[in-house]
């Protein structure tokens, strides 16, 4: 029962928060009761997936309660140490040495962005508002999602992470699910560069590509989603080489159709077959005609 009354009071205060804060500001100018430390921040920016800490610094709190309320839906998140939402990512704790009630939001999601109200149970209520901004980092491997190189030539894959507040602890590369390591410095190089305050670049270089180097390359930072590209190492100029690749994805749209088309054309007009270099498979098809 006591709890219900409290919640009603809190809800009332959410809707009258602005006015209450005004009224109290005049009163607490005398410092006879609780007041918000004027240095308390009003704007917190955090990265998606990290923990956010929203501080509420209240002096002379006495035996008053501190609640955190989410503005979006007026949901009471916490009252003192108690969490009032069925989402255990939200938790409030007091650091007594700094008179700060901090709302912790774990594993921040994009929808957590918005205003939060720190409310003190004075009569009338006092409110302090903090805006939580959520930054979503972007990751991409530069260039096309299918990369074609001739066997023996070098290839460089650049994985670029932008809008990142926290530098990843590491960035791993995977080739068809297996970690790429610098066993042989003459064969492979992996470099990590910090380019500006919110941009990290990891570069994978294969100096002399072999057909076995074909496949899915994934750039996987410690704290973010990953990005992938498909590398196709062409064994000579021959289209057939590509069809033997590990990946089912058709590397160049039309090429596979072209060879089937040639196969059919060859059946009806055998002279065609002589003028064009065909794969052994297609030649045997022609012979079968």
Ligand X SMILES: *[C@@H]1O[C@H](CO)[C@@H](O)[C@H](O)[C@H]1NC(C)=O
List contacts with ligand X (CB under 6 A).
43, 45, 62-63, 133, 177, 216, 218, 228, 230
**Residue placing its CB nearer to ligand X in the complex, 180 or 266:** 180
Task: Kindly state the smallest distance separating residue 13's Cβ from ligand X, in Å.
Answer: 16
Task: Kindly state the smallest distance separating residue 41's Cβ from ligand X, in Å.
Answer: 9
SS (HEC) of 201-256: EEEEEECCCCHHHCEEEEEEECCCCCEEEEEEEECCCCHHHHHCCCCCCCCCCCHH
Cα–Cα dist 194/186, whole Å: 24
Whether 133 and 41 have beta carbons less than 8 Å apart is answered as: no
R_g (Cα) of the chain, nearest Å: 31
Task: Kindly state the smallest distance separating residue 53's Cβ from ligand X, in Å.
Answer: 15
**Residue placing its CB nearer to ligand X in the complex, 17 or 34:** 34
**Residue placing its CB nearer to ligand X in the complex, 91 or 164:** 164
Task: Kindly state the smallest distance separating residue 115's Cβ from ligand X, in Å.
Answer: 11
Angle between helices 280-288 and 255-268 (to 10 degrees): 30
Q: How far is CA 254 from CA 9, 134, 224, 251, in A?
A: 69, 43, 35, 9
Cα–Cα dist 82/219, whole Å: 41
**Residue placing its CB nearer to ligand X in the complex, 43 or 269:** 43
Task: Kindly state the smallest distance separating residue 129's Cβ from ligand X, in Å.
Answer: 11
Cα–Cα dist 217/206, whole Å: 12
Task: Kindly state the smallest distance separating residue 177's Cβ from ligand X, in Å.
Answer: 6
**Residue placing its CB nearer to ligand X in the complex, 248 or 275:** 248
Helix (H) or strand (E) holding 142: none
Task: Kindly state the smallest distance separating residue 174's Cβ from ligand X, in Å.
Answer: 7
**Residue placing its CB nearer to ligand X in the complex, 245 or 263:** 245
For residue 41, give both structure tokens: 């921040």
**Residue placing its CB nearer to ligand X in the complex, 155 or 230:** 230
For residue 88, give both structure tokens: 């255990």
């Amino acid at each position: 029962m006591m709890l219900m009354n409290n919640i009603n009071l809190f809800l009332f205060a959410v809707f009258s928060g602005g006015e209450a804060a005004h009224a109290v500001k005049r009163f607490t100018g005398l410092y006879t009761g609780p007041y918000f430390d004027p240095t308390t921040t009003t704007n917190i920016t955090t990265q998606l997936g990290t923990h956010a800490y929203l501080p509420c610094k209240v002096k002379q709190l006495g035996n008053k309660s501190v609640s955190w309320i989410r503005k979006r839906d007026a949901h009471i998140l916490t009252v003192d140490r108690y969490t009032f939402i069925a989402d255990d990512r939200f938790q409030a704790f007091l650091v007594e040495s700094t008179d700060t009630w901090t709302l912790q939001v774990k594993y921040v999601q994009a929808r957590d962005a918005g205003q939060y109200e720190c409310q003190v149970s004075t009569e009338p209520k006092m409110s302090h508002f903090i805006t939580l901004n959520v930054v979503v980092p972007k990751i991409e491997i530069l260039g096309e999602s299918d990369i074609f190189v001739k066997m023996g030539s070098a290839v460089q894959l650049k994985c670029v992470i932008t809008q990142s507040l926290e530098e990843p602890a590491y960035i791993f590369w995977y080739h068809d699910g297996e970690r790429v390591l610098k066993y042989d410095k003459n064969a492979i190089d992996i470099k990590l560069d910090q380019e500006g305050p919110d941009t990290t670049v990891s570069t994978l270089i294969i100096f002399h590509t072999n057909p076995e180097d074909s496949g899915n390359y994934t750039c996987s930072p410690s704290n973010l989603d990953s990005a992938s590209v498909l590398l196709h190492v062409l064994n000579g100029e021959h289209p057939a080489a590509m069809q033997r690749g590990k990946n089912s994805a058709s590397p160049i749209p039309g090429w596979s159709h072209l060879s089937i088309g040639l196969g059919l054309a060859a059946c009806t007009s055998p002279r065609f077959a002589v003028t064009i270099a065909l794969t052994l498979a297609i030649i045997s098809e022609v012979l079968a005609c």
